């Protein structure tokens, strides 16, 4: 693991919780939380924790992106989601003390804050108001699991699963005259891990989607030419 400790000035960055809608903690709560944290940097493709490991610390993602994945029954890796800045990694396991059920790997250079698990539990016991943010984070994890289940479980065929995944990404895409523009840094193999299929299958489906004028690709940029047509291909009228 490649780790670089943060400078003294960078350690002053506050931890506000898992998402922008969270309540800002009081000065007393924030000061106590800041005293517990250690801020550090990790290079891209650093493993932060692995499945079946016992949690010993709580990790807050401050900058960058982290991939959460697990082993599927087929032996393939299955990507469950991408954590964004403001999220806590492996929170449920850290709270209950059970082993991690996912592996967390950085997708880019990341800035994180680490707090000893026992110290964090003592902090929550001292400041129960902080549980509001914890509940929001657990709800976020539940929503992510439901989205993954919708992609994987409601579409029997790989082309439908890929169509649903692309539609999900369209929510954060840029609407242009040519269609919805997506920035996709994932390889075909990694996209396959999102939908439980092989790299070769993803490549074949992308070729088919291009032939049907459902999308265009220019390097790491994807342009969904016709979202409505992709929804029909995915077997849904709209993607909530």
pLDDT in tens, 153-203: 555 688 888 998 899 889 888 888 888 999 888 999 999 988 888 999 999
Q: Mean pLDDT across the chain, nearest whole number?
A: 83
pLDDT in tens, 129-156: 888 888 888 887 777 776 666 666 555 6
**Number of Cβ atoms within 10 Å of the Cβ of 141:** 20
Q: What is the DSSP letter of 235?
A: T
| Residues counted in the chain | 240
Question: Could you tell me the pLDDT band of residue 22, with boundaries at 50, 70 and 90?
Answer: very low
pLDDT in tens, 90-140: 999 999 989 999 999 999 999 999 999 999 999 999 988 888 888 888 887
What domains sit in the chain, N to C, each tagged with a CATH number? 3-153 (2.60.120.10), 158-234 (1.10.10.10)
Q: Which residue do the tokens 């000065």 mark? A: 27
3-state helix, strand, coil in the chain (%, to 5): 40, 25, 35
Cα dist from 226 to 127, 157, 166, 217, 239, whole Å: 50, 20, 12, 14, 14
């Amino acid at each position: 693991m490649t780790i670089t400790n943060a400078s003294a000035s960078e350690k002053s960055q506050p931890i506000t919780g898992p998402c922008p809608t969270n309540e800002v903690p009081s000065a007393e709560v924030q000061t106590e939380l800041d005293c517990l944290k250690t801020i550090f940097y990790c290079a891209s493709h650093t493993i932060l924790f692995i499945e079946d490991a016992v949690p010993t610390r709580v990790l807050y993602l401050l900058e960058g992106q982290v991939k959460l994945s697990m082993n599927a029954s087929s032996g393939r890796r299955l990507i469950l989601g991408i954590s964004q800045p403001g999220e806590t990694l492996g929170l449920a396991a850290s709270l209950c003390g059970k082993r991690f059920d996912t592996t967390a790997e950085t997708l880019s250079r990341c800035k994180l804050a680490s707090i000893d698990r026992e110290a964090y539990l003592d902090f929550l016991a001292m400041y129960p108001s902080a549980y509001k943010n914890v509940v929001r984070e657990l709800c976020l994890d539940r929503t992510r699991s439901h989205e993954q289940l919708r992609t994987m479980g409601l579409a029997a065929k790989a082309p439908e699963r890929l169509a649903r995944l692309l539609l999900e990404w369209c929510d954060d895409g840029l609407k242009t005259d040519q269609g919805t523009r997506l920035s996709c840094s994932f390889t075909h193999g990694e996209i396959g891990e999102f939908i439980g299929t092989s790299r070769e299958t993803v490549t074949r489906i992308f070729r088919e989607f291009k032939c049907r004028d459902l999308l265009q690709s220019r390097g790491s940029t994807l342009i969904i030419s016709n979202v409505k047509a992709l929804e029909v291909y995915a077997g849904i009228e709209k993607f909530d």
